[in-house]
A and B are shown apart, each in its own frame.
Chain A
Amino acid sequence: MTKAPFANPGWAGNTGDFELTESEIRGSDFVGERPKSGGHASGAGAMPFMFRRREPDSEIFRGEYLERIEKVVSRYPDKRAALLAALSIVQEIRGHVGHADMREVAELLDLPTAHVRGVATFYTMYNKRPVGLNLVQVCTNISCSLMGADEVFRGFLDHIGVQPGETSDDGEFTVVEAECLAACGFATCVQINSRYYENVSAEDIPDIVAHLRSGGGE
């Protein structure tokens, strides 16, 4: 068990009676520095879950998924409030939220279909179109932009050989620009599936892509 690398009054670790270290709290993902390999699952990037595994043909809201959505619905006085969670489950299964899925969510939660569409399109975390197994989101907001995000974005596009928003022919990669990933401290930040890759520079791209191709992009 290692000591916390620094005293951080901003996190709920070494305060009062709790003698927990930051790594105990954050779990094995935290390795003391922000790795480029995507070992760090940021809380900001973890919802909705973007898994490599997908079941595009499975029925949504059956079996374990139905149990999960029922649990979510039971937490709110109003079914409408469970909409974001329901859409997240859809995205977890399918990788994106399609028209038919929105209609199914609307039926499940007794909501107007138009309302579901309005909410789903308001949040950029829901993919409205199918994406590749690895969704690469490069932050190009101010901090990342100052640290060379444009070269990183261009680098991903060139290395994979796609246009912005396009999925590569092998179905492995989709590269998009993200507005802000709230990780200014370690710019440039790239979110790939549910993980943050920080301190990314254009030179790191071949390694990252190779890592992802070998199945390390969960």
Chain B
Amino acid sequence: MPPSLVNLTIDGRKVAVRKGTTILEAARQVGSHVPHYCYHPGLSSPAMCRLCLVEVEGASKPMPSCVTTVQEGQVVRVNSEEAVGHREGVLEFYLVNHPLDCPICDMSGECDLQDYVHYGGRERGRSQEPKRVFGRDDFGGDVLFYGDRCVMCTRCVRFMSEVEGDERLTVVERGDRAVIDTFFEEGLEGTNWHGNIVDICPVGALLSKDFLHKARAWDLEHSPSVCTSCSQGCNVELHVRDNLVQRIKPRENLAVNGWWMCDHGRHNYEWMNRGGRLQEPYARVRSSSTGNGSSANGSSGNGSSPNGAGRSSWSATLSRVRDALIAARGGAGTLAVASPFLSNEDLAALVRLVDALGGGRVVYRSRRAPDENVLKGFPQLARRRDLAPNTTGLGLMGAKRVGDDDGAGGLDRVAGHDGVVIVVGDALHDQMDDFAASASAFIYAGSHAPPSARSAHALLPVTTFAEQEGSFTNLDGRVQRFSPALIPPGSARPPWFVLGALAASMDGGEMARSTAEAFAALSASSPAFAGLDFEALLEGGAMAKTEPARGEGR
């Protein structure tokens, strides 16, 4: 056995852990949960809360397990009568001043104090005295402070000084008057990561103003996902109720974002809930551009309008689109505009469709921030310059970046192209209304129908990343999976499904029927993604075979 290991017994189980491990972490390794507030794996341990007291044989008093390191031959009892008794006593002390306002507290349902009292507290309080009252304070930014609920674990103070590197919070006064505060009216304004203190607050003392009284924690569906606000690819959870994203919380992944995420990513979810969606596929056939493609016009009989645009079913629309594409292929070739918000699978389907049309170019536009915003205490995490989740994946599949740092311009060649034009996801926000009017076939697939898609021969409703399954490749080349959180509107389908169906009908190959199949096709065709297992990607992701794209483009 290597000398760096220490043998000890926890709750009767023998365990060997690395030297320097704390009892709390060792207990976690053998599956004994030690209740705690102030301990957080990403922060230092001050032994403030005294809730992690355990019995150590030979020690004259109960030991705070979050700061006590393991010793050779130690015998620890986490769940002995004595240890549990100590913790019950500590819990009772907490409830002397903690208000029992769970029915109106936003943390209710995910509050550690609530859980611990439920499992190990007294049935009835003995306290006769009135509780002290601190009231509330607006800390600025997105944080509201409810002083009465604070248990003085100081996680927020330590986060701001150790991780954020901007010591805005402190403990003011002492004893039972102690309270968390900033420098008078200074507040948290101007800091970029302070949303994390709401996450790590074990009770409802720090609350998000954005989420205040919006939903109860137990009403929310949690979908593991990946943040789309920049190319860092932070692991997040989308919390959904009523088919609306209510908030975004970080999900632990030490290789990417630790336990943290930036405030911008946290509050960048309104667009996922945006209405006015493209709901049904539309196909318009212009006889001048498609020749024999007009045969389908009116034959499906479901609501053709006088101007030639008509709602139709997916199968009818896709067969019309396919006919139009077949008629238009060859000639001037294909130009495709992709969005860097498309998943790897979506892109693979687009590339396959372009290949089926005889080859062409795929370009994308992406916004870039002037600077990176690095989290000082966790420098592998930053808000990256590249403000889209999958620019690395696009690069790996041969798409070229065009346009400027605002994600505008660069499409002049596409706008005047007289071959096939396919736009997927890009909102064309800076383009003229007659975009690609001269194209022999112009297919627009997106979540909304922008004015610039007016001359499109077909409008295909596709899902956003929040409504589908798939994977993104972050700037390090890490391929990470996201899960569907919302039910897509109308007949919107994932881009890989729509484009894959078109491509399969043209090249005669197999059509992917699930995201896993789409990913399998991708890893079979692209060497960068070879050997990756889609099922295994959900936890932590896996590296694509690529040189990390750090540097100019990130």
Q: Provided the pairs A114-B168, A114-B169 are in contact, do residues A122 and B174 lie with their beta carbons within 8 angstroms?
A: yes
Q: B434 at interface (Cβ–Cβ under 8 A)?
A: no
Partner of A115 from the list B167, B173, B184 (CB cut-off 8 Å) is B167
Complex: chain B residue closest to A113, CB-CB: B183
Which residues of chain A are within 8 angstroms of B215 by Cβ–Cβ distance? none
Contact A117 B183 (CB under 8 A): yes
Contacting B at CB under 8 A, from A111-126, are 112-118, 121-122
Q: B182 at interface (Cβ–Cβ under 8 A)?
A: yes
Which residues of chain B are within 8 angstroms of A118 by Cβ–Cβ distance? 170-172
Which residues of chain A are within 8 angstroms of B161 by Cβ–Cβ distance? 112
Q: A99 at interface (Cβ–Cβ under 8 A)?
A: yes
Contact A117 B174 (CB under 8 A): no
Residue-wise, chain A 87-119 has the 8 Å CB interface mask toward B (1 for contact) of 000000000000100110000000011111110
Partner of B172 from the list A99, A112, A121 (CB cut-off 8 Å) is A121
Residues in B lying within 8 Å of A, measured CB to CB:
161, 166-174, 181-184, 186
Most buried by B among A99, A117, A118, A121: A118
Q: How far is the CB of A127 from chain B (nearest CB, A)?
A: 14
Q: How far is the CB of A98 from chain B (nearest CB, A)?
A: 10
Q: Provided the pairs A99-B184, A102-B183 are in contact, do residues A117 and B167 lie with their beta carbons within 8 angstroms?
A: no
Kindly list the 4 A-B residue pairs having the minimum CB-CB distance in the complex, ordered from nearest. A118-B170, A112-B167, A113-B183, A114-B170
Report how far A102 CA is from B181 CA in the complex, Å.
15
Q: How far is the CB of B137 from chain A (nearest CB, A)?
A: 13
Complex: chain B residue closest to A116, CB-CB: B183
Contact A122 B183 (CB under 8 A): no
19 A-B pairs besides A112-B167, A114-B186, A118-B171 with CB distance below 8 A are A102-B183, A112-B166, A112-B168, A112-B183, A113-B183, A113-B186, A114-B168, A114-B181, A114-B182, A114-B183, A115-B170, A117-B172, A117-B181, A117-B184, A121-B172, A121-B173, A121-B174, A122-B173, A122-B174
Which residues of chain A are within 8 angstroms of B172 by Cβ–Cβ distance? 117-118, 121
Report how far A112 CA is from B171 CA in the complex, Å.
13
Which residues of chain A are within 8 angstroms of B170 by Cβ–Cβ distance? 112, 114-115, 117-118
Complex: chain A residue closest to B168, CB-CB: A114
Report how far A122 CA is from B173 CA in the complex, Å.
5
Complex: chain B residue closest to A124, CB-CB: B174
Complex: chain A residue closest to B177, CB-CB: A121
Report how far A99 CA is from B185 CA in the complex, Å.
10
Which residues of chain B are within 8 angstroms of A121 by Cβ–Cβ distance? 172-174
Report how far A112 CA is from B161 CA in the complex, Å.
9
Report how far A117 CA is from B183 CA in the complex, Å.
6
Complex: chain A residue closest to B184, CB-CB: A99
